[in-house]
């Protein structure tokens, strides 16, 4: 899909200075008022020289500010060479022998510079999962829990080191590793020489994994959907900051700014839903994602052996945790709720985890309720906006409602053809109709959000 487009790296230069982004009529004298706790959290991300603990910006949201372009240097370059050949050995009986032949290389601060750590984490995580999952023998095991958990020191030792340098408790392939730090454009004209890109160009139709595991179209569409979803919801970062500042400094008419921000966040959820709907089981779709390929390769590959943290999952999507924080979700008693909470500790970068915690302290729902006795007009306007957001996220046609529908399409086919373990390590069985059971569990989890309506 070549358009001949080039990236103008100066057109939005002012947007790289967050101090110039949020000053508005709410705060006409910047030096006399604080920017707000959420804004300050985002601004801290800009000031960090290397974003080892995650990144959040107004221009790219939770996606990286620049695509990966710099190769690993010195002896560590062999990790790139091996990862580039993963699709060639995916079904080979020699896969484990090839991957275990790596030399043992240290990955401490004195061995691997900070700016190479995130890319090394992506490469080593993908090599590790490929070691566990590649080869026909492992592909057809009757139970995924039978996958041997052993990992050669040449993979495990440096992988553990880079993960610890990123603030993780141990080795784990995260959604950030697998997808966000590992995509590029099909048409190179969509990115600049230093990896600059426009987030609006990052859609399923235009991107691909930089280093794929299998290299098939199903992998491209599915992984790219996570990027498209988060690209479509980028402006939610700015809107939650605006809403928080309106609550703090907006005065008697601040409710209008809060309501406007909530409506815009709802539109972000709808944009993410439109991106999610592109994943299609129909052969004639331009974004066809084969449910059999999906089940037998990609989503089986993402599940590590028992004893390791859960691998990348849709429940770890930053957008989901952002929306939960904005609506003030408090119930996590469902199976999926407990799983989502567990993923906070293993899948979310620390910076994002702190950002979502700060959003919860704002208590947008509590602010709306506080207007109930003050003015019918003020309350009605903000209540309508808040409920619109809940519906766009957790309504039957909202983001989570569409996700539940996809489960029936994909998990149903996947279980029938032999996918026997979910990303949460749950066993799946045809006799138990696991796909409908999972849809029921998701429905309960959706209900834990829907009760936040006012």
Task: Give residue 30's pLDDT.
Answer: 38
- Which among 77, 69, 64 is positioned nearest to 120, based on CA atoms? 77
427: β partners: 421
At 67, which helix (H) or strand (E)?
A: none
User: CA-CA distance, 241 to 37, in Å (whole number)?
Assistant: 8
- How many CB atoms sit inside 10 A of residue 201's CB? 17
- Structure tokens belonging to residue 322: 């952002």
- Structure tokens belonging to residue 148: 């041997």
Which is it for strands 207-209 and 183-185: parallel, antiparallel or unpaired? antiparallel
Answer yes or no: are the C-beta atoms of 331 and 445 closer than 8 Å: no
DSSP result, 75-103: GGHHHHHHHHTHHHHTT-TTHHHHHTTS-
Angle of CA points 109, 113, 118, to nearest 5°: 100
- Alpha-carbon distance values, 46 to 42, 357, 411 (Å): 7, 19, 40
- Structure tokens belonging to residue 163: 């993960």
Task: Give residue 33's pLDDT.
Answer: 43
- Which among 317, 69, 60 is positioned nearest to 200, based on CA atoms? 60
User: CA-CA distance, 223 to 375, in Å (whole number)?
Assistant: 47
- Which among 55, 71, 49, 47 is positioned nearest to 195, based on CA atoms? 71
Pure H helices in 23-135:
37-47, 77-84, 86-89, 95-99, 117-133
Q: Could you say which DSSP state residue 311 is in?
A: -
Find the distance separating the first CA and the last CA of the chain, reported in whole Å.
45
Place of tokens 């099909």: 186
Task: Give residue 443's pLDDT.
Answer: 82
Interacting residues of 241 by C-beta distance below 8 A, sequence separation 6+? 22, 36, 38, 39, 42
- Reduced to 3 states (helix: H, G, I; strand: E, B; else coil), residue 57 is strand
User: CA-CA distance, 350 to 347, in Å (whole number)?
Assistant: 9
Task: Give residue 65's pLDDT.
Answer: 94
Residue 268 φ then ψ, to 5°: -60, -45
Q: Going residue by residue through the chain (454 aa), what tens digit of pLDDT does each one get?
A: 333 344 443 333 334 445 544 444 343 333 334 568 899 999 999 988 788 888 899 999 999 999 999 899 999 999 999 999 999 999 999 999 999 999 999 999 999 999 999 999 999 999 999 999 999 888 766 666 678 889 999 999 999 999 999 999 889 999 999 999 999 999 999 999 999 999 999 999 999 999 999 999 999 999 999 999 999 999 999 999 999 999 998 777 899 999 999 999 999 999 999 999 999 999 999 999 999 899 888 888 998 888 888 889 888 999 999 999 999 999 998 888 888 888 888 899 999 999 999 999 999 999 999 998 776 788 999 999 999 999 999 999 999 999 888 877 787 777 777 666 666 555 544 445 566 777 778 788 888 998 899 9
User: CA-CA distance, 298 to 179, in Å (whole number)?
Assistant: 13
- How many CB atoms sit inside 10 A of residue 278's CB? 19
Largest CA distance in the chain: 71
Answer yes or no: are the C-beta atoms of 407 and 435 closer than 8 Å: yes
């Amino acid at each position: 899909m070549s358009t001949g487009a080039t990236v103008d790296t100066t057109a939005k230069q002012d947007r790289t200075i967050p101090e110039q982004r949020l000053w508005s009529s709410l705060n006409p004298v910047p030096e006399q008022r604080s920017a707000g706790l959420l804004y300050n959290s985002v601004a801290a991300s800009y000031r960090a020289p290397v974003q080892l603990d995650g990144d959040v910006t107004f221009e790219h949201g939770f996606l990286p500010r620049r695509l990966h372009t710099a190769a690993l240097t010195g002896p560590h370059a062999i990790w790139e060479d091996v990862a580039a050949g993963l699709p060639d050995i995916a079904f080979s009986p020699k896969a484990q022998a090839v991957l275990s032949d790596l030399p043992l290389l240290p990955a401490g601060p004195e061995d691997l510079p900070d700016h190479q750590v995130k890319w090394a984490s992506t490469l080593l995580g993908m090599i590790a999962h490929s070691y566990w999952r590649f080869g026909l023998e492992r592909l057809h095991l009757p139970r995924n829990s039978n996958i041997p958990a052993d990992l050669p020191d040449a993979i495990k030792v440096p992988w553990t080191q880079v993960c610890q340098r990123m603030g993780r408790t141990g080795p784990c392939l995260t959604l950030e590793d697998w997808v966000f730090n590992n995509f590029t454009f099909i048409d190179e004209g969509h990115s600049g020489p230093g990896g600059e890109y426009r987030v609006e160009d990052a859609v399923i139709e235009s991107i691909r994994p930089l280093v794929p595991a299998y290299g098939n179209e199903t992998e491209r569409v599915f992984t790219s959907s996570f990027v498209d979803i988060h690209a479509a919801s980028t402006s939610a970062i700015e809107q939650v900051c605006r809403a928080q500042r309106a609550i703090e400094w907006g005065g008697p008419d601040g409710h209008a700014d809060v309501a406007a921000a909530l409506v815009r966040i709802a539109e972000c959820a709808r944009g993410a839903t439109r991106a999610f709907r592109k994943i299609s089981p129909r052969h004639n779709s331009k974004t066809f994602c084969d449910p059999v390929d999906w089940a037998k390769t990609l989503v089986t590959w993402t599940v590590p052996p028992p004893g390791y943290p859960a691998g990348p999952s849709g429940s770890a999507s930053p957008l989901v945790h952002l929306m939960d924080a904005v609506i003030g979700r408090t119930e996590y008693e469902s199976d999926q709720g407990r799983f989502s909470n567990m993923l906070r500790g293993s899948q979310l970068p620390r910076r994002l985890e702190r950002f979502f915690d700060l959003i919860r302290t704002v208590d947008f729902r509590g602010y709306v309720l506080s207007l109930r006795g003050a003015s019918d007009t003020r309350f009605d306007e903000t209540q309508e906006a808040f409920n619109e957001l809940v519906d766009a996220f957790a309504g039957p046609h909202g983001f989570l409602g569409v996700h539940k529908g996809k489960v029936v399409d994909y998990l149903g086919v996947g279980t029938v053809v032999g996918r026997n373990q979910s990303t949460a390590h749950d066993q799946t069985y045809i006799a138990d109709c696991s796909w409908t059971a999972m849809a029921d569990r998701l429905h309960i989890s959706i209900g834990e959000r829907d009760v936040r309506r006012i």
